[in-house]
Chain A
């Protein structure tokens, strides 16, 4: 079309988007760059580039346990997403097959759960965890993360299953499959795109979840990245390069993963608008 017309309008548009990209990029670049600085040069010349490429700050930050936080986050995220996908998949499938008001009522109840923010039920959730003796355990994160991920995932799967050709399920039933077997052997294997979309979406949120993790985890060995990196600040009072090195270690892997698979991330997260 008009790809070759480099007029004033196009320049202005590129200027606008370019400026926005720069605003996004600069803090990230600063984080990585300043992680290589020394404490003195942070104070004396905040704008200057680092004097040398020493990874000593990164070693100090790693020593606080960034690696362990990462493993904890991976474990909690993986387990939560597995529970969310299985539990929501089963529920959405049952709802998509049920006729009548019972199914409708249960669906509405689950959708209503989507409106309730964990911020508004902090005290009771803490009381329940504490009463069950689950504080400082991974279960205390996996179970509520799963619960809060269910409504949106059920809505997503429900819409997907409704569009599913009924003949497939009937054919499986005629072949002697039970309803549950039909779900596991026929429906699930064909639901790859919906599962991937739900898994990416929930992973991003659970990986970054902070408030519940802050409440239920006080033992450093169990902390996930968001609560763990907060320790960096306490550990390295005014040792900003070490804090920034820790933040770089904590954020760069997911950023790289995002850049590599951005198409899938964008598709999955834009699904919230549907």
Chain B
């Protein structure tokens, strides 16, 4: 073994520090400093480009508590989260189970088709559905009429009582395949002997799914639920493109409300306060995700 120079240890530290620094610099500028700025800014009243900052204490947070649209937005985020868990994780699990053990011919083709919307941008997805659901030219309205039913008078996205559910449907159209693939990867890791042993005990089909499959993929289901939950709180593109938060703020979510407050109405400090609330939710969920993956 060659003689190591005396400085080898400190030289190693220097190399590693140099290799780490670009990542730390980028993360600091675009992630950590913004977090500090959003916390700081939430205590002030200021405009996006104005140099005049007025300290207002916690009044931006008080304002949020009294802002009806803030609560609508939070409620809509929760609708999207819970609805997505039911639709995307639910149907994703069923589809994955069928593709894993239920059918044997055409699996790859079917999987490819159902997963495909994941690679389309949500802006394109939103625009396609905007046209499909259009009250004048949309094929869905004609289809509903042809079936002898009455479509909503203001269109599917224009009716405030159903619009958020329609958005949920579009989001699920895009992401159910992603959940299916995620869960399928977990299913394929389940040892086949488990099913054989269960079959000897008389558990096949649905009973095998309930007693063998679901417990075996418990951890991946938790991850799927957490990813969906985080995604549901981050949703922006689809709503911005399809409804812009309307009609009459019926489909606002936290991210769109932050955007409008900051960039359309100039209530930048207030937007920062809502951002802090969204941030707290995200960090809490991230922590849950970390804990669940440690256990896995």
Q: Which residue of A lies closest to B206 (CB)?
A: A9
Chain A at the B interface: mostly helix, strand, loop or mixed? Answer: helix
> Whole-angstrom distance between the alpha carbons of A230 and B108 in the complex?
33
Q: Would you call B37 an interface residue if the criterion is a C-beta within 8 Å of the partner chain's C-beta atoms?
A: yes
Contact of A273 among B17, B99, B182, B282 (CB under 8 A): B182
The verdict on A24 contacting B113 (CB below 8 Å), with A90-B23, A113-B27, A121-B38 known, is: yes
Contact segment of B54-62, B130-138, B160-168: B130-138
Most buried by A among B26, B30, B120, B259: B30
Contact A258 B275 (CB under 8 A): no
Contact A30 B98 (CB under 8 A): no
Q: Would you call B247 an interface residue if the criterion is a C-beta within 8 Å of the partner chain's C-beta atoms?
A: no
Contact A120 B128 (CB under 8 A): no
Contact A251 B177 (CB under 8 A): no
Q: Would you call A3 an interface residue if the criterion is a C-beta within 8 Å of the partner chain's C-beta atoms?
A: yes
> Taking the nearest CB of chain A, how far is it from the CB of B44, in angstroms?
11
Contact A123 B268 (CB under 8 A): yes
Q: Would you call A114 an interface residue if the criterion is a C-beta within 8 Å of the partner chain's C-beta atoms?
A: yes
Q: Which residue of B lies closest to A130 (CB)?
A: B49
Q: Would you call A171 an interface residue if the criterion is a C-beta within 8 Å of the partner chain's C-beta atoms?
A: no
> Whole-angstrom distance between the alpha carbons of A97 and B19 in the complex?
11
Contact B116 A117 (CB under 8 A): no
A12-38: CB near B (< 8 Å → 1, else 0) gives 011011101101110110110010000
Contact of B118 among A113, A146, A269, A274 (CB under 8 A): A269
Contact of A259 among B29, B112, B146, B286 (CB under 8 A): B112
> Taking the nearest CB of chain A, how far is it from the CB of B286, in angstroms?
2
B31-46: CB near A (< 8 Å → 1, else 0) gives 1111101100100000
Q: Would you call A53 an interface residue if the criterion is a C-beta within 8 Å of the partner chain's C-beta atoms?
A: no
A/B interface sample: 16 pairs, CB < 8 A: A18-B110, A24-B116, A46-B141, A88-B23, A115-B283, A117-B279, A119-B278, A120-B38, A208-B121, A211-B255, A226-B121, A230-B127, A230-B241, A243-B127, A243-B131, A274-B293
A residues within 8 Å of B by Cβ? 1-3, 9-10, 13-14, 16-18, 20-21, 23-25, 27-28, 30-31, 34, 42-43, 46-47, 86-88, 90-91, 93-95, 97-98, 106, 109-117, 119-128, 130, 143-144, 146-148, 150-151, 154, 174, 178-180, 183, 204, 207-208, 210-211, 214-215, 225-227, 229-230, 232-233, 240, 243-244, 247, 250-251, 254-255, 258-259, 262, 265-266, 269-270, 272-274
B residues within 8 Å of A by Cβ? 1-2, 11-12, 15-20, 22-24, 26-27, 29-35, 37-38, 41, 48-49, 91, 94-95, 98-99, 102-105, 108, 110-124, 127-129, 131-132, 134, 136-139, 141-143, 146, 173, 176-178, 181-186, 205, 220, 223-224, 227, 230, 233-234, 236-237, 240-241, 254-255, 258-259, 262-263, 268, 271-272, 275-276, 278-279, 282-283, 285-287, 289-290, 293
Inter-chain pairs besides A16-B95, A30-B132, A265-B119, 13 sampled, C-beta below 8 Å: A17-B114, A21-B110, A24-B114, A94-B19, A97-B16, A113-B31, A115-B282, A120-B278, A128-B29, A143-B30, A227-B123, A230-B241, A273-B185
